[in-house]
Amino acid sequence: MHTYPSCLRVCLCLAWLLAAVAISGCGYQLASNSPSIIGDGTRTLKVKGVDSPTLHPWLPHIIRSELRNEIGARYLARWVDSGSADYEMQINVLNFSTREWIRTELDTTQLYATSLTLEAIIYDGSTNKEIWRSGPLSYSEREEHANEKAASGYIITQVIRKLADTMRKAF
């Protein structure tokens, strides 16, 4: 094993420390510490609606629930279910598909191929003016689950996480 003289180790540590200080002075920060497109997390947000032109009646409920959890976990806003809010979000499901991929000899599905594309639009709560649009956000994967709804849960979570990440990109 190669060992460095202690003087060289100290110099390397100081170089790393100086580099870290220099980068932090340039305005770099963790994305989780940066403000979202709707402010610093003190504003209120509610879902205006979830437009889901699919044959899956449970889809809007799961999207709304995952969105509420992600917004709260990341402190992007204070969630309100009804009444007035500083911002209102409309979720439009552009595409949702789930297909059975592998079936057993007992005719039960083992693997689902699931895909979701959605778009979020945020409106000012007082003027109803559009202030931000996410653009299409997608995720697809093959999931091993007992039923279609359970297989879809993971995909929905991933798209909602992408949405929350996109809300932090205020540049």
The interaxial angle of helices 148-168 and 59-73, nearest 10 deg, is: 40
- pLDDT computed for residue 152 by the predictor: 85
The token pair that represents 77 in the structure block: 């806003």
Q: How many domains does the chain have?
A: 1
Task: Kindly tell me the burial class for residue 36, based on how many C-beta atoms sit within 10 Å of its own C-beta (0-12, 13-18, 19 or more).
Answer: buried
Specify whether the CB–CB gap between 41 and 77 falls below 8 A. yes
Tokens 């693997």 label which residue?
A: 111
Range of the domain at 141: 36-168
State yes or no: pLDDT of 30 exceeds 50.
no
Find the mean pLDDT for residues 18-35: 55
Higher pLDDT, 105 or 4: 105
Could you give the CA distance from residue 28 to residue 34 in angstroms, rounded to a whole number? 10
- As a whole number, mean pLDDT of residues 129-158 equals 86
Residue 6 lies in a domain: no
Residues, the chain: 171
Domain-located, residue 15? no
**pLDDT category of residue 104 using cuts at 50, 70 and 90:** low
Domain assignment present for residue 148? The answer is yes
Choice between 82 and 146, residue whose per-residue pLDDT is larger: 82
- pLDDT surpassing 70 at residue 124: yes
Q: Assign residue 85 the CATH number of its domain.
A: 3.30.160.150
Mean pLDDT of 132-137: 96
Is residue 29 domain-resident?
A: no
Query: Domain for residue 44, yes or no?
Result: yes
Residue with the bigger pLDDT between 7 and 139: it is: 139
In a domain, 3, yes or no: no
Task: Tell me, yes or no, whether 5 lies in a domain.
Answer: no
Indicate the helix (H) or strand (E) that contains 66. Answer: helix 59-73
In a domain, 1, yes or no: no
pLDDT at 21 over 80: no
pLDDT band at 171 (very low <50, low <70, confident <90, very high): very low
Q: Which residue from 82, 88, 92 is spatially nearest to 43, judged by alpha carbons?
A: 88
Residue 27, pLDDT > 80, answer no
Q: Mean pLDDT over residues 46-53, rounded?
A: 94
